[in-house]
Structure 1
């Protein structure tokens, strides 16, 4: 029953050869795997980035929060390390999604898609890319396939996997490519464009359409890039606040919803047919946008209503003064202020002294100032933290030492000589306005702290490939 293992002889040389052979074959097999003609990427949905890199032998570059790329070929979005989005770009050759690949004919692509999805739910013409994008949806995913308008060949494929989450409600008419994931919210092309086009209209009306390429930041960022970042931040804030409104039991009344609908109707009526088609705008989408903004305002008002509203008079106090300035300096060729020569100084001081005598003889101060002052402004209203900084603390201290109706002596500053007349040592309207501003600052600070706490729970992932491709035209 028992074998005598001492009598069994094992020839280890063949085993050693096999072991060595395996060592050398493994890298070869790995190389063969990498050399596959195409990788089917749909099987990597929900998988980790590390798993993807290991199995496809690719080196992904992390571009941002959860965004990974192979330049001009592939983009993956993995908010928490697991892949939820795959985009095959025009430069890709060895990647497939559901059998589709870049350069495939539209008819062949549609045959393959019929096995996975039903007919498309939306079509979007993207004139910037000379392409038309078809949108497909099922219970757990979305697929966007772009074809060149002229050749009908596939130019881009984007896949979004919902994992165990339900897709966002389509009641507002989501359309176009997915631009961002904000927590469980999905921001699509048409919603993002409502905000971006609004910003574009505002800035172009003030600065013209050349503003977008202007590099106004030290890091070389264009103004257009900056505004696009700000638009994403704005949308993020609105989505987060909307969630928190639900948690705090804050909702729009029927009257407020009607107000949002009225704003939306007016907005939609002002759009051209071309813009409606190009940006996929619907009345329901605009209603949601306006409702989100009204709700955010209501959340702010509700959650900051109990902020401390007491502002002492000595903190907010504003005074109003009039003043006469006679320069004791001048601007040289280098635009620097330098003293007058002695003769000119004497003449200037003689002038300010004469004006002071006339003020003391009860001449109307404003009329006298209007005829003689070398200052740009005669009347100023300011508080302890305000006032004309160029005149220095001597000017401000003298102004605050006066009672209503009093006139100062001659005040010497780096600019020259001043006479100050106190119109009011407590401007009630201006003081009330400053108090309101201080209270509003307190509310804003409180809400900013709340938002910072809320937003830490939200993962924000931007589809950079799609967002960066949108231009201001």
Structure 2
């Protein structure tokens, strides 16, 4: 599927554009300004009608922003339930945070399109045809209420799909030289089970772990070792060598285990555990990890180029237009998702 695996990486590592951070005070990213390479802010009153912001020569109009915001809200509600929009984190409502994320993502797309122009990257005739298909499908899904709420037109929808497709084309261009070959050893993923003993008394936890380890070595079923011990629980997990979730000593000890081998008791932050290696080489997880490693490298390489490019841009935000917006009904009637429509159309070879 075209670019499908890139999404969660590329938007996670790109810097939130300072223009939106200053205008909305929503990102809460916590970085000092001097640590980031961001577009320069230009204060101006020379905006076109419905122009919400500009970055360099690229402009974003209000209907585009409202569509991104509505789509992000809908995705979040579908995952966590409708009540999620009323919650707040550290004094900021979830809805405000989602607005910041949506506008940041849209600003990133506009910046990537400027990169495309700078690098001579364009849309092919096939790309343009697919954008037309996507726009036709999405526009047909919008109700009259959706169109009125967004101030949407077919031309805007088509332009948004073209912007999105061009952004991924420049991503592919920047990252085309990243080596996609990852060795089994580098990506190797193991699957384990562990008996975790949590107790405020580490000496007692070690004593119980030693007793359970002896039972396991004597042939008792590993999965039943925790039975009858309320402080002990059975867990199953997988990880690769490059995991940052566990300590290096713990990871190295687990990777030294052969399939079906059981470790001696180990002290970990959660307590004391004994580990059984279920598979010292999980092929499916290893193959999946190869994909993750390649996409992470691509995203890191792109982020460096993107950051350098963005630092030379100027940007402006129409705060007067934004202050006029009252985003009360943020969910659309359509059952189509803008980004999923793109994936569906562009995944067709």
* Gapped regions of structure 2 (runs ≥ 5): 1-20, 24-39, 227-231, 330-349
CA-to-partner distance for each residue in 1:318-341, whole Å, 9 max, x for gaps?
223344x263x43xxxxxx43476
Is 1:305 matched with 2:186? no
The equivalences for 1:166-205 within 5 A come to 177-205=50-78
In the alignment, structure 1 residue 431 sits paired with structure 2 residue 320: no
Give yes or no for the alignment of 1:385 onto 2:242: yes
After TM superposition, the structure 1 stretch with the greater mean CA deviation from structure 2, 460-469 or 439-448, is 460-469
Structure 2 residue corresponding to 1:408, chosen from 255, 259, 262 = 262
Going from structure 1 to structure 2, the CA distance change for 1:209 and 1:180 (only over 3 Å counts) comes to farther
Partner of 2:225: 372
Task: For 1:441 and 1:426, locate their aligned partners in 2 and report how far apart those are by CA, in whole Å.
Answer: 22
Structure 1 position 250 matched with structure 2 position 121:
yes
| Match in the other structure for 1:33 | none
Q: CA deviation at 1:417?
A: 4.8
Aligned equivalent of 2:214: 353
Deviation at 1:297, TM superposition (A): 1.1
The secondary structure found in structure 2 opposite 1:461 is strand
Bigger radius of gyration: 1
The answer on 1:338 being equivalent to 2:201 is yes
Secondary structure of the corresponding residue to residue 382 of structure 1: strand
CA gap 1:398/1:301 in 2 versus in 1, 3 angstroms: same
Q: Is the 8 A contact 2:257 2:263 kept in 1?
A: no
Deviation at residue 300 of structure 1 after TM alignment: 0.7
Tell me: CA distance 1:472–1:199, structure 2 relative to 1, closer, same or farther (3 Å): farther
Distance 1:453 1:345 in 2: 52
Please report how far the alpha carbon of residue 396 of structure 1 lies from its aligned counterpart in structure 2 after TM superposition: 3.5
Say if 2:196 and 2:274, in contact at 8 Å, map to a contact too: yes
**Helix, strand or coil: the match of 1:226?**
helix
Mapped partners of 2:147, 2:314: distance in 1: 31
Does the C-alpha gap of structure 1 residues 419 and 196 become closer, same or farther in structure 2, counting only changes over 3 Å?
Answer: closer
Q: RMSD over aligned Cα, in angstroms?
A: 3.2
Q: Mind listing any 5+ residue stretches in structure 1 that lack a counterpart? A: 1-62, 66-77, 86-159, 162-175, 331-336, 360-367
- The verdict on how the C-alpha distance between 1:346 and 1:231 changes in structure 2, with shifts beyond 3 A counting, is closer
Say which structure is richer in strand: 1
- The separation in 2 between residues aligned to 1:200 and 1:443, in whole angstroms, is 28
TM-score, normalisation: structure 1? 0.53
Aligned CA distance change for structure 1 residues 212 and 64 (closer, same or farther; 3 Å): same
Task: State how far apart, in whole Å, the 2-side matches of 1:240 and 1:322 are.
Answer: 46
Distance of aligned partners of 1:472 and 1:209 in 2 relative to their CA distance in 1, 3 Å threshold: farther
| CA drift at 1:346 | 6.0
Aligned partners of 1:320 and 1:423 also within 8 Å: yes
CA contact 1:353–1:410 (8 Å) conserved in 2: no
Q: C-alpha distance in 1, partners of 2:45/2:263?
A: 74
> SS at the partner of 1:426?
coil
Asked whether 1:289 is paired with 2:160, we answer yes
